[in-house]
Structure 1
Amino acid sequence: MKAIGITSSLPISEQDSFLQVELEKPTPTGRELLVKINAVSVNPVDFKIRESSLKGKVSDTPKILGWDAAGIVEEVGDKTSLFRVGDLVYYAGDITKQGSNAEYQVIDERIVGMKPTSLSDAEAAAMPLTTLTAWEILFDRIRISSEKDKGKSILIIGGAGGVGSIAIQLAKKVAGLTVLATASRPESIAWCKEQGADFVVNHKDLVNEVRNTGFQYVDFIVDFVDTNSYWDLMAELIKPQGHIASITGSSAPVVLNKLKTKSASFSWEFMFTRSSFQTEDIVNQHHILNSVSELIDQGVIKHTLNETIQGLTVDSFKQAHTKLESGKTIGKIAITF
């Protein structure tokens, strides 16, 4: 089968930063599905792994990136129970295995959802990774409940990005929160408002911007940009007994002591935890994707695709990664095969 992979970690400007390769078509076993992929999308994790996973070495085995896909089930393993051949699916994959930038992929059915019927392949492929990340950070890490938390405030740092775009929608339309999102350019401000943000604030003067909206403190903060850069600001803005969560990791120790006097909480979110560690609740990702699929088909949630590139080619992925690395993309970029 045809695939786009890497054999070393190179800057995207290098000719061989991506390579077209031929691999054996995989066979599903156990709870695996074999999916014929129709579209994928790109996320920051893609270029971060491309830049770092093979740094300083050349691999004999091509590494296939890609952690978002939409396609059709072509074969099923002997222990599957959630899907049948012919089902249209979407999923975000498993970072410990080969990715989706290929004609076919085997994937654990427990992290796969039924594709929203109202979306195209490209629109559906734009959703899984960011949706799972946003859902987990809101409802599994912070444990927001529409019953007890409706009307409370949340600050979303990085509102116009892939995760921020769907987090705004889930926070507003599912949890019933008052949403403040950060953005600074006219086009990103407009995008955040389109997703449902009640207030859009400039991250360059975050504390004053938030307080100018009338909030001295906010109940919840989620960071999709840079934990270290925003830590002191988040510690200042979080409400006593509030909760902060981040997906971005930390290049330096996080000073949790800054939250002590407020008895505030902090959580990390990593969407690949369940698949990487085969947690007891791994099937929750299947249920989350199915729930969001229903919300999309009901018109409650909308897709966050903002650009589509055509073709399973080296050039397509170089284009997508170049745009993503600029840090100025709004919503998601998909590639159709």
Structure 2
Amino acid sequence: MRAISTSGSGLVDVDVPEPQLRPHDLLVQVEAVSVNPVDVKIAASAGDERRILGFDAAGTVVRAGPEVTGFTVGDEVYYSGDVTRQGADAELHAVDARIAGHKPGNLSMAEAAAVPLTTITAWESLFTHFGADAGTTGTLLVVGAPGGVGSMLVQLAKQLTSLRVIGTASRPETRERVLALGGDATVDHRSLAASVKDVAPDGVDFLFSPFSEGNIETYAEIVKPFGHVVAIDDHHVDVFPLKSKSIAWHWELMFTHAIYQTPDMASQGRLLDETARLLDEGRLRTTLGTEIADFSAAGLRRAHELVADGKAVGKVVVTR
């Protein structure tokens, strides 16, 4: 089958064997993949290693392993895969059914492929680490609110909790985006402490951080005592400044369930099914920004360049 792989010269088209299924696996005919910063990071560090990337995907089930439940051949699915396995930049992809969801019926394959990784990250940050529910009040600050995870976190918090949501956004178009997604206010990340104090003088209860390096002192200043911070970046940071306020620090990595085959692994499939329902009801919006109709190494290279540039608004998706 055809696939796109890393190589010493970048992304290249290759022929590879069809993936072998594990007992819980679905074999999916891939129709769309979205490119995330993790794809760009892995590609940049791959060297001569041959690896098929692609985590977010949408497609159709063509075969299922003997222990799969809840899916049949012909079902349309969407998911974010497993960082320890070969990815979805291929004609066919094997994914554990427990971390897959049924594709939203009202969304195209491209619109659906834009959703899983960012939604799972936002969902676990909000409901697992922050412990939020429908009755949770207070103020949530979303750093990087116009980004992929931030855009979903703003929507989920406004739709499923009672939190006031503030998002960082510095350009007119990104401020408009955050407010259009339901955000209550925006602040400038370049003067974060002062901007937050203007709209939340007493500080914030919850803070989501994709960019933690160099910001811990500021977080200690603007998060209330006994508040919570969830971080998703890969920087080594010293969180000691948070101690005097007893601020809790949480790491979120949506691949943890699949890496360690945790007992609650199927929670990701369930949350994707719930997300599909919310998308079909119009309560959530896909974060698709750019669609590239070229499922090849050339198309993936263009998508990687857009994501690496950091200026794309919304997710970049490559379709067959």
Class of the TM-score when normalised by the shorter of the 2 chains: over 0.9
Q: Structure 2 residue aligned with 1:221, among 207, 231, 249?
A: 207
Q: Report the Cα offset of residue 229 of structure 1.
A: 2.4
Q: Structure 2 residue aligned with 1:68, among 45, 56, 61?
A: 56
CA contact (8 A) 1:210 1:216 kept: no
Where structure 1 has 5 or more consecutive residues not aligned to the other structure, the ranges are 9-15
Q: Structure 2 residue aligned with 1:21, among 14, 30, 37?
A: 14
CA contact (8 A) 2:140 2:166 kept: yes
1:231 and 1:29 mapped to 2: Cα distance?
43
Q: Report the Cα offset of residue 298 of structure 1.
A: 1.2
Where does residue 161 of structure 1 map in the other structure?
Answer: 147
Q: Report the Cα offset of residue 153 of structure 1.
A: 0.5
2:291 and 2:40 mapped to 1: Cα distance?
18
Equivalences, count: 320
Aligned: 1:181 with 2:174: no
Where does residue 4 of structure 1 map in the other structure?
Answer: 4
2:39 and 2:200 mapped to 1: Cα distance?
38
Bigger mean CA offset, 214-223 vs 40-49 = 214-223
The TM-score, its normalising length taken from structure 1, stands at 0.93
Where structure 2 has 5 or more consecutive residues not aligned to the other structure, the ranges are none
Where does residue 238 of structure 2 map in the other structure?
Answer: 254
Instruction: Work out the percentage of aligned pairs sharing the same amino acid.
Output: 40
Q: Structure 2 residue aligned with 1:296, among 270, 279, 298?
A: 279
SS in 1 for 2:3: strand
Where does residue 230 of structure 1 map in the other structure?
Answer: 215
1:86 and 1:38 mapped to 2: Cα distance?
13
| Within-5 A mapping of 1:67-106 | 67-106=55-94
The TM-score, its normalising length taken from structure 2, stands at 0.97
1:276 and 1:82 mapped to 2: Cα distance?
22
CA contact (8 A) 2:133 2:160 kept: no
The one-letter code matched in structure 2 to 1:82 is G
Where does residue 272 of structure 1 map in the other structure?
Answer: 255
Q: Report the Cα offset of residue 304 of structure 1.
A: 0.7
1:313 and 1:194 mapped to 2: Cα distance?
34
Q: Report the Cα offset of residue 115 of structure 1.
A: 0.3
The one-letter code matched in structure 1 to 2:293 is Q
SS in 2 for 1:3: strand
1:128 and 1:168 mapped to 2: Cα distance?
15
SS in 2 for 1:5: strand
The one-letter code matched in structure 1 to 2:300 is F
1:294-332 Cα offsets, whole Å, 9 max, x none, are: 111111111111110011112211111111111112221
Q: Structure 2 residue aligned with 1:39, among 24, 32, 45?
A: 32
SS in 2 for 1:18: strand
1:49-108 Cα offsets, whole Å, 9 max, x none, are: 1112x33xx23xx31001100000000011111210011100000000000111110110
Q: Structure 2 residue aligned with 1:119, among 107, 117, 120?
A: 107
Deviation >3 Å, runs of 4+: none
CA contact (8 A) 1:29 1:76 kept: no
Q: Structure 1 residue aligned with 2:185, among 196, 199, 202?
A: 199
